[in-house]
Structure 1
Amino acid sequence: MTTQPGWHPDPVPAQPGQPPQLRYWDGARWTEHVAPAQAPAAGAYYGAQPAYGGAGGGKATTTPDGVPLAGWWQRVGAYLIDGLLLGVISAVLYIPFYGRVVDAYRDYFDDLERAADSGGPQPSPFQLQSDLAGTLALMGLIGLVVGFVWTVGWLRWKQATPGKLALGLRVRLRDQPGPLPWRAILLRWLTQAGVAALSFVPLVGSVIGLYTLLDVLWPLWDDQRQALHDKAARTNVVRVR
Structure 2
Amino acid sequence: MGNPYDPYGQQPGYGQQQPGYGQQPPAQPGYGQQPAQPGYGQPPSQPGYGQPPAQPGYGQQPAQPGYGQPSAQPGYGQPPTTPGQSGYQEVHHHHYGSTGQLAEWGSRAGGYIIDYLIFAAPTFVLYLLGVLLGGSGSGGAALLGVLFMLIGLALSIAGGLWICYQEGTTGQSIGKRQMGIRLVSAQTGQPIGFGMAFVRKLAHIADSFLCYIGFLWPLWDERKQTFADKICNTIVVRA
SS in 2 for 1:83: helix
State percent identity of aligned pairs: 25
The structure whose residues are more often strand, as a share, is: 1
Superposed CA RMSD in Å reads 3.9
Q: Which amino acid aligns with 2:119?
A: L
Could you tell me which residue of structure 2 aligns to residue 14 of structure 1? none
- Distance across 1 between alignment mates of 2:105 and 2:98: 20
Deviation of the 1:142 alpha carbon: 2.5
The within-5 A match list for 1:43-62 is: 51-53=90-92, 60-62=93-95
- Distance across 2 between alignment mates of 1:211 and 1:150: 28
Deviation of the 1:64 alpha carbon: 2.6
**Is residue 230 of structure 2 the alignment partner of residue 218 of structure 1?**
no
Matched-pair contact (CA < 8 Å) for 2:168–2:196: no
SS in 2 for 1:78: helix
Q: Which amino acid aligns with 1:165?
A: R
Q: 1:157 aligns with which of 147, 169, 178?
A: 169
Q: Using structure 1 for the length normalisation, give the TM-score.
A: 0.52
Higher RCO structure (Cα 8 Å, ≥6 apart): 1
Cα distance per residue 1:83-125 (max 9 Å; x no partner): 1111355368x38x83x532333339xxxxxxxxxxxxxxxxx
Q: Can you give the 5+ residue segments of structure 2 that lack an aligned partner in the other structure?
A: 1-78, 82-87
Could you tell me which residue of structure 2 aligns to residue 20 of structure 1? none
Cα distance per residue 1:7-57 (max 9 Å; x no partner): xxxxxxxxxxxxxxxxxxxxxxxxxxxxxxxx698xxxxxxx96312xxxx
Could you tell me which residue of structure 2 aligns to residue 171 of structure 1? 183
SS in 2 for 1:214: helix
CA separation of 1:157 and 1:182: change in aligned 2, threshold 3 A: closer
CA separation of 1:62 and 1:150: change in aligned 2, threshold 3 A: same
Equivalenced residues, count: 154
Matched-pair contact (CA < 8 Å) for 1:61–1:69: yes
- Distance across 2 between alignment mates of 1:66 and 1:52: 12
Deviation of the 1:221 alpha carbon: 1.7
CA separation of 1:181 and 1:103: change in aligned 2, threshold 3 A: closer
CA separation of 1:78 and 1:64: change in aligned 2, threshold 3 A: same
CA separation of 1:209 and 1:227: change in aligned 2, threshold 3 A: closer
CA separation of 1:187 and 1:239: change in aligned 2, threshold 3 A: same
The structure whose residues are more often helix, as a share, is: 1
CA separation of 1:170 and 1:91: change in aligned 2, threshold 3 A: same
Bigger Cα Rg: 2
Q: Can you give the 5+ residue segments of structure 1 that lack an aligned partner in the other structure?
A: 1-38, 42-48, 54-59, 109-130, 197-207
Which stretches of structure 1, 4 residues or more, deviate above 6 A after TM superposition? 133-137
Q: Using structure 2 for the length normalisation, give the TM-score.
A: 0.52
